[in-house]
Amino acid sequence: MKRSFRRYEILLPLQFNDGRPVPAAVNHQTLSGLRKRFGGASAETQAIEGEWSFRGKVFRDKSARIFVDVPDTPESRAFFVRFKKILKRRYRQLDMWITSYPIELF
């Protein structure tokens, strides 16, 4: 029987909104939490540069991308909905960018 999987990708800020760097331990906490919950997670080490605007102000940021492949279930989706709230507090962000899409494992 073929199981469906979904990849969740999260952009983790490398700096807080005030410009201070996010301590490496914070990103490690996020990655290891996903590993403990799902058995594995991966991170890209190159910085992703982006720009976005909020209330007329332009923000420039650098982020890292982490991703995890999980069973495509309502429980997994509910986890990431809750996890987003945790990440917004942990990284002191107005929002966190989490995307997901179906994947096929061979």
Domain borders along the chain are 5-98
Residue 96 has a pLDDT of 93
Residue 21, number of CB atoms within 10 A of its CB: 11
- Name the residue among 75, 99, 83, 82 with its Cα closest to residue 4: 75
Confidence of residue 5 (pLDDT cuts 50, 70, 90): very high
Residue 49 has a pLDDT of 93
- Beta strands of 14-97 (E only): which ranges? 42-43, 48-54, 57-71
Output 51-54 pairs: Cβ under 8 A, ≥24 positions apart.
Answer: 54/94
Residue 1 has a pLDDT of 55
Q: Is the pLDDT of residue 2 over 80?
A: no
Predicted structure pTM score = 0.88
Residue 40 has a pLDDT of 96
Render pLDDT for 33-73 as a digit per residue (tens, 0 to 9): 999 999 999 999 889 999 888 889 888 889 999 999 999 99
Residue range 5-98 forms a domain whose CATH class is alpha beta
Q: Which residue has the tokens 């909104």?
A: 17
Average pLDDT value over all residues in the chain: 92
Neighbouring-strand partners of residue 21: 15
